[in-house]
Structure 1
Amino acid sequence: MEINATYNSFVALGDSFTEGMSDLRPDGSYRGWADVLADRLATRTPGFRYANLAVRGKLIGQIVDEQVDTAAAMKADLVTLVGGLNDTLRPKVDMGRVRGLLTEAVERLAPSCGQLVLMRSPGRNGPVMERFRPRMEELFTHIDELAARHGALVVDLYGAPSLGDPRLWDVDRLHLTADGHRRVAEAVWQALGLAPEEDWQTPLPPSLPPGWTSRRLADARFARQHLGPWIGRRLTGRSSGDGRAPKRPDLAPHEPPTGP
């Protein structure tokens, strides 16, 4: 990897994590770490182009079928691929198939771009996630192996204690807040060899833990508003992204933001 390289174009593939949930803009759209990264790269390079093909809820097979060939044809300087985690959170999953599809995606993307970036996704602690942790870690081990074979970078967010802080996660407990997404963008920025602007692993200031009553009320609200519907979609094979198009389907010019 060329340190402090210039990236003229960037394509992001994946699911809700890369689409940007739950980093809401005032207009109700999602920003997310990939948009933040694109904004920062655009400030360095006139004529910078950016596409974000990620759609919430997508499984790795859908990413391969719907996003990989499109991204490969764009021949971007930088491509990020984050996928497979939704598969590990299904009630039943064939991890051999997940590994095979991820391998197929990397083999098609790596030769077509200047730099491919993979991730070990962040994960907060909690009883719901503990059930799926062995699958997640199997996925991340495979990601490390693929990166070593194909010259990809791996951004290790899973091993960062700072991103395990529940205050960096939305009330749905599945998606990062704006601060969490900003930290992810900084982690990728630094992995690309660009000059750090902050320490993304700095923990949040200590705070008093919520009381028992507050925790139980939050748990009940989470189960009613998020966990129940999420389980229902998993059991019926539905996805929050069904019928949804990518927010930036074309590799188009991207201007850095001018406001605060």
Structure 2
Amino acid sequence: MRYLRYVAVGDSQTEGLNDGDERTGYRGWADRLAELLAAQEPEFRYANLAVRGRLAARIRAEQTGAALALEPDLVTVMAGMNDLVRPGCDASAVAADVEAMLAAFTASGARVVTFTFPDVAAISPLTRHLRPRVVDFNQRVRDAARRHGALVVDTFPHPVTTDPRLWSPDRLHAGPLGHALIAAAVAEALALPGSDSSWTAPLPPLPLPPAWRRAHTELTWAAGFLGPWLVRRLRGRSSGDGRTAKRPDLHPVYGPGPDRAAEPQHTEGA
């Protein structure tokens, strides 16, 4: 199947956080996927509507109509993790927002790809209490995708997706290697030329650090990332305050690096 108009919707992971930086801009798995598609189709165009910090309901409200207006033939939908980490989250309500997007995009005739989330307990033991919620959400997403004919990149069953080398120090965002793996997973789901299941293979094993070092690592993460995140939540702030999509319109893609299609820079919101 040919893909000429790709639109990505979602939050920080799809925006590409931590695959690059604020000064040079973020690449991310969706950009990486777009580069693969552009290499096959000279007329290919790509838009990325994702904004960091967005909850699933807001992604649905702000990005669905904007994406449909671009008349895409391929849409990726990654949403829900910002909801699932919040106390009292209802996974069924979050999954319902994701399903509404899948329904709208598949009804338009686009090929749609969505995602399950990895095992958060394996990424950070301090979040093990969220595991049942993620398991519940993932199954709801699989069921919704089946109902609407969407493709699913099912990350949860593959231990490699929790390897710390794929994640940034904040454990919330993929690093460059993680973004590359996600792009490879979507390429396989789409059966793109040259794609395969090698992204599921585990990385070479790491030596197990002593228990005291593991405990120190967890405490450092909690102080450096979990604590500030909780403070922002209590203050009603989001990392996406004052931000808009980095690539709101369909444009050509010229490949990685400075020769890529220009992306507008953002300013941090108050």
Q: Which of 37, 50, 53 is the aligned partner of 1:54?
A: 50
Q: Which residue matches 1:18?
A: 14
Q: Which residue matches 2:225?
A: 226
Give the counterpart letter for 2:246 in structure 1.
K
In 2, Cα distance between the equivalents of 1:61 and 1:143? 15
1:83 and 2:82 correspond: no
| Structure 1 vs Structure 2 CA RMSD | 2.1
Give the counterpart letter for 1:225 in structure 2.
G
| CA-CA distance at 1:182 after TM superposition | 0.5
CA contact (8 A) 2:119 2:134 kept: no
| CA-CA distance at 1:16 after TM superposition | 1.1
> Number of paired residues?
256
1:121 and 2:120 correspond: no
Unaligned runs of 5+ in 1: none
In 1, Cα distance between the equivalents of 2:212 and 2:38? 46
Q: Which residue matches 1:182?
A: 180
Encode CA deviations 1:100-145: one digit per residue, 9 max, x unaligned: 3223222222112420111112344132331111111221111111
Q: Which of 128, 131, 134 is the aligned partner of 1:130?
A: 128
Q: Which residue matches 1:172?
A: 170
Unaligned runs of 5+ in 2: 260-270
Give the counterpart letter for 1:80 in structure 2.
T
Instruction: Give the alignment's TM-score, normalised by structure 2.
Output: 0.87
1:36 and 2:35 correspond: no
In 2, Cα distance between the equivalents of 1:227 and 1:208? 26
- After TM superposition, which residue ranges in structure 1, 4 or more long, deviate above 6 angstroms? none
CA change 1:163–1:64 in 2 (3 A) is same
Q: Which residue matches 2:160?
A: 162
Q: More displaced, 136-145 or 98-107? A: 98-107
CA change 1:96–1:123 in 2 (3 A) is closer
CA change 1:249–1:178 in 2 (3 A) is same
Give the counterpart letter for 2:93 in structure 1.
R
CA contact (8 A) 2:187 2:195 kept: no
Q: More displaced, 214-223 or 14-23? A: 214-223
In 1, Cα distance between the equivalents of 2:186 and 2:146? 17
In 1, Cα distance between the equivalents of 2:25 and 2:245? 12
CA change 1:52–1:98 in 2 (3 A) is same
Q: Which residue matches 1:240?
A: 239
In 2, Cα distance between the equivalents of 1:72 and 1:107? 12
SS state of the match for residue 27, structure 2?
A: coil
| CA-CA distance at 1:18 after TM superposition | 0.8
In 2, Cα distance between the equivalents of 1:32 and 1:170? 13
CA contact (8 A) 2:158 2:200 kept: yes
Higher relative contact order (CA 8 A, sep 6+): 1
Q: Which residue matches 1:104?
A: 100
